[in-house]
Chain A
């Protein structure tokens, strides 16, 4: 029995031995030589923001922005008590009495904005309405001197003196009326398009007495008064030719203080894909530059020249379609390698209206833009 068992075991062992001899070591892996480098670098893409918004969603009507009955957007600036003249303000004279409108400045509070703007903007139909209440029975002629001050130049309104309406005595003790200053009687479009940060104004008001048949009429009483205010209306009827808005901010991407959880070195690629259907007759380009203020050099620039292309317009300058745009803004590893070498980031947005040569367009409150911005990120996740 034992011999038989031994033979059986020998048989089986032989088989296994043959298998083992034939089946040998395929590879030897010395794990001490294993590279410690291990990483994951998936490309992740996610729609980040989207929207379908009209101009009226972006800008609400207010004292400064109104939409007229045709939904045309109009900027309105008002200045009360530009003129407040009583009889005592006029120099005593028999025939002509003259009062001075004291020099004053109307600050539009656009200085900060204008400091960052370059390029050409033109408003085609601005107007200034001089609203007044006049109780002088004799004709009052206003000679208004208006000068707009822009960033580096100034423009004179060049408005001819104009006569105010007078009350129809004795039934009418005072009259409320207005006088409109526009492109037909002045340089107003040029003045507004400078564009102004402030407007200086001064002038005179002259009363010319006339001989009356009825001596009962009293021409100039001590209670007579002229009150006037200005309303500047700037319809968004304009053209933009490479209007640039440039702003410099601190480099918020830099990771020198350790507060930023995103280290630029952790990215191989960051791409922003913007798709838009633009119903505005305005095109936009974006440039982002890493700037070293010490060496005064730009280290790297990312540019999206066709971020938005303008919508087509009809003969009246009204948009009559949408333009689809798809743009990629790519931040590659060259950009990321320069992030920590710059202390500032300069953003430049360039706007143009429709046309190869930017043409006159009108902005209406029901213009829409729909957009989708997606982030494509290729992070470098190291397990070392």
Chain B
């Protein structure tokens, strides 16, 4: 395929995706980058050696949510160009709620690669080491919570306000990973990475049930069976009635250097993890691959707090019998009710070590090499977070010109969005390889116009100025991975290869 045709193909793919207004992908998977072994340990880059320098090697920020978009929160109204929020009296709340999902999740993730090393041993074996700091959050807000806030509880008469899907998990941990991949046959390549995990801090909610039943007579039955496990410099104090009296941050942890080191080492909260993956060359042009990543757990033992509530309480109003027969005043009956409520929701506070499991991912991919340098790929990625399952399906076009240049464009259907266009670019200058990858290019933008007031440095005068801030029209997902590797060598030296670009 000539260079012109390649350019045209890339252009047509780009235009195609833009015209259908669909975009996104898990771009990294099919790129020729050392970091793609994070997604499938069987994948190897074309470099013989790579070194990821501390922090500079790369970071990955990933925020997914299935919440409403800006245009759902703010609506252009009448008169022309006026804007109303979803709390405006003329905004149709039902329309707003119709856009809210049953489970509204928000999943921020941050990965900072502290160190990465990979090198080839012999022809088939590739060994890699990683140290990554990871922060992962998973928050789920049930739709009923929004309905309750906006419409009130009468909406639920005769039914249950189901908050059992309410989740709030966040964990900060460090992983030390070491693994290898090699060809076991001419067609099959298998990779595995073992991970030693050190938990630094976490707060995780195990919500078995949480709900409020609104009966026909508007009596309410509250039931809760949930546990909040925490590990971190937080002290929860209880009163004599087992009610939480205070939650305090333990400043002493960070008063000394040894305390800070001890906290960030996470050495008392250890865990194990594994990534396994394989690729299979069906033909010279067709390659299948699959992996399971982040299969693992962390056992949290340090600064542990377990708050457990397993209670049921029925509120049917103040029972007036005692007031009517004169044995109590209405104030006393009210106080009894409050005491009952407090006693019904006692919380047990223990220090029992607990285990959290990493959300794990299953990738299944297939690629077709159009030419030696250009391929198209199809990738399914399933992420399992407890009982929640996220699915993404990506179609990508990839150009890998040795280890000198790699780019990928992808379309992904995920997150209830079908217009995700992603792109990645990696290029090498000498031993330095720069890369930037995003799963979603915001093609459509909204411009937010505003006015700000600034104060003069001298005197007390102020003046107003306008500003324009572009924001993505759809903000359901944001992904950015960028960094810099030191790379050496290139194992792809085939006699019949005609590189599109000649590296001098």
Listed in ascending order, the chain A residues whose CB lies under 8 Å from chain B are 1, 4-5, 7-9, 11-12, 14-16, 18-19, 22-35, 37-53, 57-58, 60, 273, 275, 372-376, 378, 383
Contact = CB atoms under 8 A, between A and B. Distances in A.
Interface of B: 7, 10-11, 14-15, 18-19, 70-71, 74, 76-77, 81-85, 87-89, 148-155, 157, 214, 217-220, 315-321, 324-326, 404-405, 407, 409, 421, 423, 425, 427, 429, 441-451, 466, 470, 473, 501-504
Contacts of B446: 25-29
Contacts of A44: 152-154
Contacts of B149: 40, 42
Nearest to B6: A11
Contacts of B324: 51, 53, 57-58
A53 B325 contact: yes
A9 B404 CA distance: 12
A49 B220 CA distance: 13
14 contacts: A8-B405, A11-B10, A12-B407, A19-B18, A22-B19, A29-B74, A35-B84, A43-B153, A45-B152, A46-B153, A46-B218, A48-B317, A57-B321, A57-B324
B10 A31 contact: no
A33 B83 contact: yes
A52 B70 CA distance: 52
B396 to A, nearest CB: 14
Contacts of A372: 217, 219, 316-317
A370 to B, nearest CB: 10
Contacts of B501: 4, 7-8
A383 B84 CA distance: 13
A23 B441 contact: yes
Given A34-B83, A47-B317, 8 more contacts: A4-B404, A25-B447, A26-B444, A26-B445, A26-B446, A31-B451, A38-B85, A374-B217
Contacts of B325: 53, 57-58, 60
Contact of B18 (A22, A38, A39, A58): A22
B427 A5 contact: yes
Closest 9 CB pairs of A and B: A42-B152, A23-B443, A47-B317, A374-B218, A51-B320, A43-B152, A22-B18, A38-B87, A43-B154
Contacts of A373: 317
Q: Is the interface of B mostly helix, strand, loop or mixed?
A: mixed
A290 to B, nearest CB: 25
A11 B84 contact: no
Contacts of A27: 71, 76, 446-447, 473
B320 A49 contact: yes
Contacts of A35: 77, 82-85, 88
A241 to B, nearest CB: 27
A373 to B, nearest CB: 7
A32 B148 CA distance: 30
Contacts of A43: 151-155
A50 B473 CA distance: 52
Interface centre among B152, B404, B427 (most CB of A within 10 A): B152
B324 to A, nearest CB: 5
Contacts of B321: 51-53, 57
A4 B449 CA distance: 41
A15 B10 contact: yes
Nearest to B407: A12
A58 to B, nearest CB: 5
A11 B405 CA distance: 11
A12 B501 CA distance: 14
A97 to B, nearest CB: 52
A60 B325 CA distance: 8
B89 A37 contact: yes
A134 to B, nearest CB: 42
Nearest to B216: A275
B447 A29 contact: yes
A355 to B, nearest CB: 27
Given A23-B444, A23-B445, A26-B446, A51 B319 contact: yes
B155 to A, nearest CB: 7
A39 B218 contact: no
Nearest to B330: A49
A42 B148 contact: yes
Of A29, A45, A275, the most chain B CB neighbours within 10 A belong to A29
Nearest to B18: A22
A6 B103 CA distance: 47
Given A15-B423, A42-B149, A33 B81 contact: yes
Given A42-B150, A47-B218, A31 B450 contact: yes
Contact of B445 (A14, A24, A32, A42): A24
Given A4-B502, A8-B501, A50-B319, A31 B83 contact: yes
Nearest to A12: B425
A50 B316 contact: yes
Nearest to B148: A42
Contacts of A11: 7, 10, 407
Contacts of B315: 46-47
Given A32-B449, A57-B321, A26 B83 contact: no
Contacts of A48: 317-318
A154 B444 CA distance: 90
A178 B222 CA distance: 63
A213 to B, nearest CB: 63
Contacts of A28: 446-447, 449
B169 to A, nearest CB: 29
B320 A53 contact: yes
Contacts of A1: 503-504
B54 to A, nearest CB: 27
Contacts of A378: 152
Contacts of A375: 218
A41 B444 CA distance: 34
Contacts of B10: 11, 15
Nearest to B77: A35
A35 B149 CA distance: 21
